Structure 1
Amino acid sequence: MRKLFLMLLLAATAAAEAQCFVSSFSSLGQLFKTTGNYALDQKFNASQADLQVLFGVNVDLYMYNDGNAPNAYAMGSSSPRYHGVVAFGTSLLASHLWNMDKGEYAVAGVLAHEFAHVLQIKKGCTLSNPGRELQADYLAGYYFGRRQYLAVGLYAFANELYALGNYDFWSPSFHGTPDQRVQAMLAGYRKRGLSVNEAYAAGIRYVNDDEGDAEQEACAECDGAGTVSESRACSSCSGYGVLACRTCSGSGGYYAYGYNAYRVYGYWWYTCPGCNGARSFRCATCSGGGTVNYTRRCAACRGTGKS
């Protein structure tokens, strides 16, 4: 399922012959700050904000008319406010992404790839293609792993991936074969437990195949994530899921006479105003489940994700 999902996402970023990391936008024509669709603008803005926080970059994001050459591009920015500029083609959006099932996830995937290029600009990346593109795919996979988007199954691009993939090793726009791109994203996804700087360095090692990083099997204990999710009894409610009302100590009321008091077996009973007689509340820490989930570094691989 994971591999299929990544294959679906990669179809869009392999959609055109032109490389997506460029030195000038002069050939793109007029750039726009809106897609022309309010709902799409909201999704773009949300993805942009999320990616900027995760990757630690400021990006000037635009749309442009890509006509018959659907693509998205990234380049450096001349403004001190931004680390880079990204231009997203309207044809790429309309023809290859949004008209298909769950296109919003593919939009986020393409943006993650382009924002990864901006991170490369910020860090002065010296990789050449296809290594630069594959590292961007690696970081896009890392983004999806961090956001756990792979739990959502997408089938939209399966039939298009290999038709859109580029196998021309001599083309200056070469991104890597479709299978190489899938493997790069899967490798990045498995590193979701790392910080972004650690993932960036791991991506360089991956594309350079240093120390067999690309070939070494993933840790069976953590499935290559480097972290393990576990649960424990909630310390706030001792695993019961509820907490006794502090006002009445869980009795639900008092033997006293007052407003709204009533007779119970010959005594005056006053209902607790704190819990309205319910005696307890659902624990806010565990939402009533009695357990809390947490993530720890995998002891088997010491957080490396490798066996």
Structure 2
Amino acid sequence: MKRKIQFPILLGAIAVLSLSACNDDTMETPVQPEQQAENLKPEQPNALEKVCYYVDQYWSSSSVLLTSLQNSTDTNFMNSQMTKIASMWGRSNPTLRFVNDPSNFNSTYNAISYSTGKIYYGYAIYYDAKAKGGDIVNAMILAHEYGHQLQYIFGLPTVTESTARPNELEADGFAGYYLRRPNGYNQTSFAQIAAAYEFAQSIGDYQTTSPGHHGTPPQRRSAVRLGFLLGQYSLSAADFDYNFFYYYQGVLNGTYKMAKNSQYPELDAYMKQYLDELKQIQTGEISAEEFKNLK
């Protein structure tokens, strides 16, 4: 069954920030201050979007929507990142809300992008990511989720398969692109981006025939690396999609040396020096440790 873009997309891979974190009952639950609740329950994602295999794919029945995190510093960071991500793409902000469940904190280890212009971000995933990798991890996760918003808006990706892989790999690429862009997170050191990415989306999956397949670990690494490389240039969402799959499909099927990207000759000249590297990441010839040390 082909994945339909109109359904909300779960960032299943972020649920593997730590394999144990998805079902670790020992994860410390922070003290919760009073929050501004909206007296609403978060909408549940469609069943077809169940892609995280270590947590329940739905928000718990006792979870609540909030307009803030535990403190103003965290809330302001996420709101400012949301504004910066959307602005970089020339768009207005989607609705960003946070999900907490004081009676089952770990159930909020999730983030979901909805086709109705909303992103819901769980308390548990935010604070675990911040504790283990710092602000850049949550910036990356949010940029990935906003990548799904771009897919909803512009009918992307233009490449379709019988699994979720093109959607998720492109969202990984969108995140890598944002982290590099000067008007984005402006992080030109790939070592820091790679470390954050490995923390947040470390393993991918090998269930290649499952509708929820997100790509193998090496494929996901090559996708974020490709997004980072494309961040050398200012691209629209449609231009990004064209170039992302132009090079990514070539890396996957080995035909990249047989074609020239005549629509973007300057970008193509830049990318040619990295094509062998991308293929080596995708095949696993470049290890996870070597990936973290790329320039």
The 1:98–1:204 alpha-carbon spacing in structure 2 relative to 1, beyond 3 Å, is same
Could you report, residue by residue, the CA deviation over 1:14-54 in whole angstroms, capped at 9, with x for unpaired residues?
Answer: 4488xxx9548994242211112211111101101100111
Out of 67, 89, 92, which is 1:33 matched to? 67
The TM-score, its normalising length taken from structure 2, stands at 0.58
* Other structure's SS at 2:98 match: strand
Larger Rg, first or second structure (1 or 2): 1
RMSD: 3.7
The residue that corresponds to 1:190 in the other structure is: 229
Runs of 4+ in structure 1 displaced over 6 angstroms?
A: 210-214
The residue that corresponds to 1:131 in the other structure is: 166
**Partner amino acid, structure 2, of 1:186:** R
Q: CA deviation at 1:205?
A: 3.2
Equivalences for residues 1-307 of structure 1 within 5 A: 12=14, 14-15=16-17, 22-23=45-46, 27-28=58-59, 29-57=63-91, 58-65=93-100, 67-68=106-107, 70-77=109-116, 84-95=117-128, 97-101=129-133, 103-125=134-156, 127-128=160-161, 129-147=164-182, 148-151=186-189, 153-154=191-192, 155=195, 162=202, 164-192=203-231, 193-197=233-237, 198-209=239-250, 215=256, 302-304=266-268, 305-307=270-272
Q: CA deviation at 1:94?
A: 1.7
Could you report, residue by residue, the CA deviation over 1:58-98 in whole angstroms, capped at 9, with x for unpaired residues?
Answer: 31111113724622110111xxxxxx211111111122x11
Equivalent-residue separation in structure 1 for 2:267 and 2:196 (angstroms) = 33
Equivalent-residue separation in structure 1 for 2:252 and 2:209 (angstroms) = 27
Equivalent-residue separation in structure 2 for 1:214 and 1:134 (angstroms) = 19
Could you report, residue by residue, the CA deviation over 1:286-305 in whole angstroms, capped at 9, with x for unpaired residues?
Answer: xxxxxxxxxxxx9xx52323
* Other structure's SS at 2:227 match: helix
Q: CA deviation at 1:115?
A: 0.3
**Partner amino acid, structure 2, of 1:41:** T
Q: Which runs of 5+ in 2 are unaligned?
A: 1-11, 23-43, 50-56, 259-263, 273-295
Q: CA deviation at 1:199?
A: 1.3
Could you report, residue by residue, the CA deviation over 1:138-182 in whole angstroms, capped at 9, with x for unpaired residues?
Answer: 1111111214314275456757864x5322224333221222111
Task: Answer whether contact 1:35 1:41 (CA < 8 A) is retained.
Answer: yes
Equivalent-residue separation in structure 2 for 1:158 and 1:138 (angstroms) = 14
Equivalent-residue separation in structure 1 for 2:73 and 2:190 (angstroms) = 20
The TM-score, its normalising length taken from structure 1, stands at 0.56
Over the matched positions of the two proteins, sequence identity in percent amounts to 22
Equivalent-residue separation in structure 2 for 1:35 and 1:216 (angstroms) = 48
Equivalent-residue separation in structure 2 for 1:207 and 1:14 (angstroms) = 24
Equivalent-residue separation in structure 2 for 1:106 and 1:212 (angstroms) = 31
The 1:161–1:185 alpha-carbon spacing in structure 2 relative to 1, beyond 3 Å, is closer
Higher strand share: 1
The residue that corresponds to 1:243 in the other structure is: none
Equivalent-residue separation in structure 2 for 1:200 and 1:61 (angstroms) = 24
Higher helix share: 2
Task: Answer whether contact 1:138 1:203 (CA < 8 A) is retained.
Answer: yes
* Other structure's SS at 2:80 match: helix
Equivalent-residue separation in structure 2 for 1:99 and 1:135 (angstroms) = 27
Q: Which stretch shows the higher mean deviation, 143-152 or 187-196? A: 143-152
